[in-house]
């Protein structure tokens, strides 16, 4: 079933789009089922769970971290994650940079942009992202790889479309403004309910959980 769901989605994705199979709350067996079907990129949102899975599952898995990250949990995430997609505060970015310096490792990150209607949603404002990228040089152990965003929680396609439009436009603007940031090329938008809409806005990464693994326990 997992393999079938994966293949159905992969068939529709243009080759330039990376599929992150979001395995949070699902057991290692579910990850291994997708792995057996050839998939290698998985997403987790809890530090402990990422660490536990990364330490026991095959080493050629590429793990993305997508959750809220507290600065006292960096050591459970940064040794394992190929990409931290959910950097949402300056303080977190500074602490990741500090960890990178101490461990001699450059950490690839996406900046999470607040685009949805919900006030509770995490993420930077456009102004904050601009301010931060103007001094990207000062984060020597951070590799800025692009933006991540979550659309409003709604079934209204127009609203989701507008949310993705906004982040895609801002992403294009940043790419023009900061050509020296040569790794700034990923736009991570689209989840189980809205990834087809995200493709219309040039997503380069989609993060899909439920549509692959079923409902989370």
Judged by the rule CB under 6 A, the positions of this chain that interact with ligand PLP are: 22, 24, 45, 66, 150, 191-193, 207-211
Residue with Cβ nearer ligand PLP (84 or 96): 84
> Which segments of the chain does DSSP mark as H helices, in order?
2-12, 28-36, 47-56, 74-77, 90-103, 126-134, 157-177, 195-200, 210-213
Count of residues for the chain?
A: 217
Q: How far is the CB of 182 from ligand PLP (least distance, A)?
A: 25
Q: How far is the CB of 135 from ligand PLP (least distance, A)?
A: 26
Measured distance CA(40)–CA(20) in Å, rounded:
9
- From 145, 35, 43, 135, select the one nearest 94 (Cα to Cα): 135
Residue with Cβ nearer ligand PLP (70 or 138): 70
Q: How far is the CB of 24 from ligand PLP (least distance, A)?
A: 6
- From 57, 43, 75, select the one nearest 207 (Cα to Cα): 43
Residue with Cβ nearer ligand PLP (69 or 150): 150
- From 177, 214, 179, 205, select the one nearest 6 (Cα to Cα): 214
Query: Locate tokens 């809205």: which residue?
Result: 194
Measured distance CA(136)–CA(178) in Å, rounded:
10
Q: How far is the CB of 150 from ligand PLP (least distance, A)?
A: 6
Residue with Cβ nearer ligand PLP (84 or 93): 84
Q: How far is the CB of 137 from ligand PLP (least distance, A)?
A: 28
Residue with Cβ nearer ligand PLP (133 or 211): 211
Whose CB is nearest to ligand PLP?
209
How many CA atoms lie less than 13 Å away from 215 in the CB half-sphere?
1
List the beta bridge partners of residue 62: 41
Tell me if 44 sits within 8 A of 66, measured CB to CB. yes
Residue with Cβ nearer ligand PLP (25 or 178): 25
Q: How far is the CB of 23 from ligand PLP (least distance, A)?
A: 10
């Amino acid at each position: 079933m997992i393999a079938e769901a994966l293949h159905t989605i992969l068939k529709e994705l243009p080759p330039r789009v990376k599929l992150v199979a979001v395995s949070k709350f699902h057991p290692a067996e579910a990850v291994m089922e997708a792995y057996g079907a050839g998939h290698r990129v998985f997403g987790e949102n809890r530090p402990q769970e990422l660490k536990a899975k990364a330490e026991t599952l095959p080493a050629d898995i590429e793990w993305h971290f997508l959750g809220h990250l507290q600065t006292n949990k960096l050591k459970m995430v940064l040794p394992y994650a190929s990409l931290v997609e959910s950097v949402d505060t300056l303080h977190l970015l500074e602490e990741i940079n500090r960890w990178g310096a101490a461990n001699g490792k450059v950490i690839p990150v996406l900046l999470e942009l607040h685009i949805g209607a919900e006030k509770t949603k995490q993420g930077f404002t456009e102004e904050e992202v601009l301010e931060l990228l103007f001094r990207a040089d000062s984060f020597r152990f951070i590799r800025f790889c692009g933006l991540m965003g979550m659309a409003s929680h709604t079934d209204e396609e127009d609203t989701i479309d507008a949310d993705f439009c906004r982040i895609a436009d801002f992403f294009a603007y940043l790419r023009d403004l900061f050509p020296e940031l040569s790794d700034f090329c990923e736009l991570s938008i689209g989840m189980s309910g809205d990834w087809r809409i995200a493709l219309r806005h040039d997503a380069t990464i989609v993060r899909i959980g439920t549509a692959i693994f079923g409902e989370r326990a």
